[in-house]
Amino acid sequence: MFCKYCGTKANDGEKFCVGCGRPLKSTPTTPAATPSWQSTPPSNGTSPMGTQPPTGTMTNGTPATSPTSAATAKRLPLNILLIVAIVAVVLGALFFTYHQGWQRNEAYALPAASEIPQSNGSSTTGDKNPTAVNVVAELRRQGIKTKVQKVYSGKTVGAFTGYDGMKPGDTVKNGQTVTVNESMGPGVPKGTEGSKAADVVTTLKDMNVPVTFHQMPVTDTSKHPEGTVLATYPADGAAVTDKSTGIQVGVATATTQVNTVGYDVIGMDKDEAQSKFVSQGLTVTMTPRFSSKQYLGKIVDSEPKPGVVRSAGSAVTLYYGVDASQKNDVVGQELGYGSTDIAMTNTTALAGKYCTDNGDCVTLKTAATSSKPYTLAVDGQQNVGDYGSDTVWDGLSLCAYSQDAYGCVPNPSASYMTDSMKDFLIDGDTGAMELFSGFGLPNCGDNPFVGDGPVSCVNGKTVFGTSGISGASGDQSDLTYVPKEFFVVMPVGADLDKLKADGYFDGSSNYKPDANRVYLIRRDNSAYKTVKADNGSTLTVDPYSPGPSMKPFKQAPNANNVYYLVEGLQDIDWSSLPGIDVTPSSSASSDASEKQ
């Protein structure tokens, strides 16, 4: 039941509201006995004057008392207690929020690093800087709202590096959020490229690693004004991984040399670039290369490299970006021998530097070019030679061993030719291709074993001829298949989802490679074992090379095995560029002086 006057809830049986004192229901239908003093009403129903008892009149000897007055008197102590309780809660809340600074009227100035209380053993980093976590804790203790932003700096990872958009001593307004910067260690802050070198020199040199500025010749200063940062190593927004090399910065420098292919050619439309340099008297060759989406149809590199002055009539090759749909134009070459077939022999088109998101890099460099197929080698890979050497077969190629380039033709047109690349990815429709070491050959000891002619593998050594040599009678029992370097090349437009659906990978991963960039998926060979190549009667097929018998990848693409192509202005020979001194701008000097 609820009071119809004030809405206060009442218990069953109560006659008066404890909230307002009014009756909770109407008078009982059974009339009470008429007091002896009340006159009988006249027949017309009007009440004559004088029918109410005088004030204080007693009825049956009891003073007349108003029900409302009695209820009011009864609930008064309860109301007083309720009011006191409410006031106490409000005052307590006000005191608490005031203590926390949420309702403070006084100004609060942001503390400098030296003013942050060192409350526990983990409150400072190894270089004695307070941690960002410690600064956040202090500000929140003062009732200041905070958030953390990670930035590159010369301080230890986790250290407090200052406030974003504010400086020590600045007053914090009521309800304002303060952003605390936390160090990620040294790196190139995002947005360095495209900035004036004079505006970023102080920030970069504060990274506590070597910083070198280089001249990068440009021919069009309207697009790339002098003094603008064109490129950096590591890339814009990336962390420093080699503290001895530090940070390299390329700065746009105007050139008056007519026949210079400036660094501003990178990213130029391929037709525009070709027309420009032909008009300058250069002989231009246009060659496709796999590139990220941003460089499709644009120049990604040149040979000789940009910045080199050419004499009139000299040759220059301009490389422009394409996707997986033009794989035959990138890695294919005419077979010859009167055939129109395309052989996948131009492996050197895949040379370059590739890096994971974590900064682990692999460089593929040219190895063998005196015959086809051309081969690559992983930088640092030992004993990979050119043709004429047994070690040539440990080079990286797109096809398996054969006595001529016919073995590198997917789905050959001549009926008498065997499709040696059957079930290779490059022969399929995913746009992907396999780049692998060893040509699918077995090993005799540490070296690939070709087996052409009277040759045997004896005690891990290749032996030619059989005369007078024990065990050298075509013995193959010592041959093994060894898991070697293996990459899946994924140009822009390659279909990773189809590879997964086809069961190419054994494992699974939530990692999604950037499909707008060229990348390699590197096989982890530690997941495989060396196996015997001779099954007792004949050689088996290499289970670690492409084809229908190849074992699946143990690991699906992940952050540790996906390597992205470093391209454009990131693929620079910094040692070939002259240095340049950069003086900080007045604004950069002012910003540095305001840091904590």
pLDDT in tens, 227-267: 999 999 988 898 998 899 999 999 999 987 767 788 889 99
Percent share of the chain, pLDDT over 90:
52
Candidates 391, 438, 419; CA nearest to 542 is 438
- DSSP per-residue letters across 264-295: GGTT-BHHHHHHHHHHTT-EEEEEEEE--GGG
| Most confident stretch, 64-68, 72-76, 218-222, 327-331 | 327-331
Answer yes or no: are the C-beta atoms of 1 and 17 closer than 8 Å.
no
Using DSSP's 3-state secondary structure scheme, residue 202 falls into helix
Residue 198 and residue 584: Cα distance in Å, rounded? 5
pLDDT at 306 over 70: yes
Distance CA 510, CA 556 (A): 9
Q: Which residue has the higher pLDDT, 311 or 362?
A: 362
Per-residue pLDDT, 474 = 58
Task: State the first-to-last Cα distance of the chain, in angstroms, to the nearest integer.
Answer: 66
Collapsing DSSP to helix, strand or coil, 422 comes out as coil
Q: Residue 173 is which amino acid?
A: K
* pLDDT confidence tier of residue 26, bands split at 50, 70 and 90: very low
CB contact set of 349 (below 8 Å; sequence gap of 6+): 289, 290, 330, 331
pTM of full prediction above 0.85: no
Contact between residue 471 and residue 458 where contact means Cβ atoms under 8 Å apart = yes
* pLDDT confidence of residue 39: 40
* Bridge-based pairing state of the strands 486-490 and 443-444: unpaired
Range(s) of the chain covered by CATH 3.30.10.20: 108-183, 197-323+578-593
CB 82 within 8 A of CB 27: no
CB-based contacts of 469-476 (< 8 A; 24+ apart in sequence): 476/442, 476/451, 476/533, 476/534, 476/539
Residue 32: the pLDDT is 43
Q: What is the CA radius of gyration of the chain?
A: 43
Interior/surface letters 540-563, b for 16+ CB within 10 angstroms, e for the rest: eebebbbbeebeebebbbbeebbb
Of how many residues is the chain composed?
596
What would be the CATH architecture of the domain defined by 197-323+578-593?
2-Layer Sandwich (3.30)
Segment 328-382, tens digit of pLDDT: 999 999 987 778 899 999 999 999 999 998 889 999 999 999 999 999 999 877 6
The model's pLDDT over 163-213, given as tens digits with 9 standing for 90+, comes to 999 999 999 988 899 999 999 999 999 999 999 999 999 999 999 999 999
Q: Give the C-alpha separation, 190 to 232, whole Å.
A: 11
pLDDT at 90: 63
- How far apart, in Å, are the Cα atoms of 219 and each of 192, 224, 300, 459, 554? 21, 9, 17, 63, 50
The Cα-based distances of 260 to 218, 282, 304, 414 in angstroms read: 8, 10, 10, 47
- CA-based nearest residue to 491, from 292, 357, 300, 353: 292
Average pLDDT, the chain: 83
110 closest CA partner among 82, 135, 81, 128? 135
Rounded CA gap, 214 and 280, in Å?
A: 26
List Cα–Cα distances, 75 to 21, 26, 68, 218, in angstroms. Answer: 8, 21, 11, 91
Name the packing angle between helices 586-593 and 197-205 (round to 10°).
30
Q: What is the DSSP letter of 2?
A: B
Pairwise CA distance, residues 587 & 596, whole Å = 17
One-letter amino acid of 539:
L
pLDDT at 35: 44
Question: Alpha carbon 229 to chain centroid distance?
Answer: 23
Residue 212 pLDDT: 97
CA distance 109 to 166: 11
> Six-digit token pair at 500?
């997964």
Residue 473: pLDDT above 60?
A: no
Instruction: Give the separation between CA 497 and CA 430, rounded to whole angstroms.
Output: 9
For 81-128, how does the pLDDT look when each residue is reduced to its tens digit (9 = 90+)? 777 777 776 666 555 544 444 444 457 899 998 888 765 444 444 456
Nearest CA-CA partner of 387 in 439, 336, 351, 433: 439
Structure tokens at 464: 């030619």
Exposed, middle or buried, 497 (CB in 10 Å: 0-12/13-18/19+)?
A: exposed
Adjacency order of strands within the sheet including 299-303: 283-290, 315-322, 299-303
Residue 260 pairs with which residues in a beta bridge? 309
- Token pair for residue 403? 């006595």
Q: Which CATH number fits domain 108-183: 3.40.50.2000, 1.10.3720.10, 3.30.830.10, 3.30.10.20?
A: 3.30.10.20
Report d(CA 227, CA 251) in Å as an integer. Answer: 6
What pLDDT sits at residue 34?
Answer: 44
In this structure, what token pair is assigned to residue 282?
């250069």
Q: Which of 312, 228, 325 is nearest to 278 (CA)?
A: 312
| Gap between the Cα atoms of 83 and 86, Å rounded | 5
Residues 6+ apart with CB under 8 A from 503: 552
